Structure 1
Amino acid sequence: MTKRKVIIDTDPGIDDALAIMAALQHPDLDVLGLTSVAGNKGIHFTTDNAARLLTLFESDIKVYRGATNDYLSLKAGKGERADEAGFVHGASGLGSVELPIDPVVHGERGAIDFILETIKAYPGEVDIIALGPVTNLALCLEKDLETMKQVRTIHSMGGGVHRGNRSPVAEFNYWFDPTAVDMLYTQLGPHVPIWMIGLDVTHQGITDLNDLTFMKMAGGELGELIFEMMQFYVNTYWHQNGYMGAVVHDLMAMIGYIYPEMYQEIHHANLRCVNDSVLAKGQCIVDLHNQFNWEKNAYIPMSANIRFYKEKIMAVLFGEEVAEDYKKRVKSMS
């Protein structure tokens, strides 16, 4: 079986970290590189956190440093953007976990050059999994739209149709750089399948305390590490949402990319992102049922098989035997 070629564009972030772990573990994915972007934390943190994860898995993959700010700020010549979501992901971006870095995993090229050169090397074969703000992708569009049209698919974790988390109407990644989001969907969406994995579907997949306890008990050293990393995240969701667990948004985007049969309701629709309003900044305007016959530029899952999702998490991260054990224990509790 031919492996799927993947670039992961990311701003780690606890949920990014778990998604990257899943990608690095999966035998059918050929991860060509990670590209960092400012988002959950500033670019120094997100680049180093990506490098820490590559070091953890003793990977020969490299991370390439990307955009330091949102698109309009970069165009205005503003400097590096300060951290935005440390209150969610902790001071380092990985909760209370401290991981070493092997400097060799830092790539010499910038993220934009790496993305475009890789697509040119493998036209029609590269999938981009965008786990953070899509600033790097907008800069690629600006530099070479025709090359970006040769991407196979893009899977973007962000946005929402009926809910937000940074404001009542806006999800964090899309709120951070709504201009880049609107560029991505309007310029590239008619040519390349772009999947918006938004809050409507990710919030259906709460990783609860039973799931985390199982990871710790059955998942070996990696399970213990994930359990520790998730504590800060769980605390945030307890106080902000009242959840007994956490929504690992980017992990759902990654599992859904690997196993698209997980999604149960998918709409092919027109999506625009508000970038000219203070109150509605980052809001997705989606013609979900194609009432206005606007050009379709997004694939939007609205529901998912959550039992399947959780079983695949355990299988990808810890192996099939652990996943079977998980299934038995869940069944015994139901």
Structure 2
Amino acid sequence: MGKLQFSIAILTLSLISSFDSIQSATFTLTNQCNYPVWAGLLSGAGTPPPPTTGLPLQPSQSDSISMPPSWSGRVWGRTLCSTDSDGRFTCVTGDCGSGTVECNGGGAAPPATLAEFTLNGANGMDFYDVSLVDGYNLPMIIVPQGESGGNCNVTGCLVDLNRNCPSELRLRAAGSNGGDGGDESVACRSACEAFGDPMYCCNGAYSTPQTCNPTSYSEYFKTACPTAYSYAYDDGTSTFTCSSANYVITFCPAPANSRKTTGGSLSGESSGSGSLASGHGVVSSVMVFVFILTSVWRL
């Protein structure tokens, strides 16, 4: 009997230890844009959803989310959002098609800048990246905090690519800049979305790393944002790993600047507040500073 109780105790301790080793990460979403952003979250197949799948962020506002252990999925920002007379919520960029602030399993309509995560993946590591494969709608960076191992780099895109987006890739919205006739680009499409050519989409005869190569369009994204994914097989310089970390995801980190305006109020309330500077601490601020210097030097 004593031996059985001892075995049960050892098993219990083992289960507790295994549970403790898979910790949930906290995502802090911060809006440093000079316009409102509505964050969207989409879970990967077989992954439980986070506590919220959509939340509004006023300029300089932050909100934190405790993510499920081993979560995988995407985070992005929606812009130029409004609610129509029937109560349906839509956004000009990054819309998830749910008709509400919560995305409820809907993904971002391209073009959209995506933060992609797999938490507690192979060897207990988190894998993360910022992807422009589906195009770009606003600047974004990921900053890991409190990490205990891995290649925990800051990654993302600091540059406002909408300003110089090639004309054939521009997504325009009428009245998006105070009635300029919709000539301003509010997002920059991928060449795949714009043309549908397998050469740009990395499918068909171009579905392998050997046959799908960078193009002048993907190089536009890569030159401006060297650590972000620019096309489907851009793994070598764009995927990062970290362990036991929390993550700050910032929309429009300095020195990025954009001209988007909405003229409307947020649909919904957000409980958090704060700024990039107050949320990161000294170490993360230094990481962001180095990242900014590197990005500006490449321009």
Q: With structure 1 as the length reference, what TM-score do the two structures score?
A: 0.28
Normalized per residue, the structure richer in helix is: 1
Normalized per residue, the structure richer in strand is: 2
Q: With structure 2 as the length reference, what TM-score do the two structures score?
A: 0.30
**CA radius of gyration, larger in:** 2
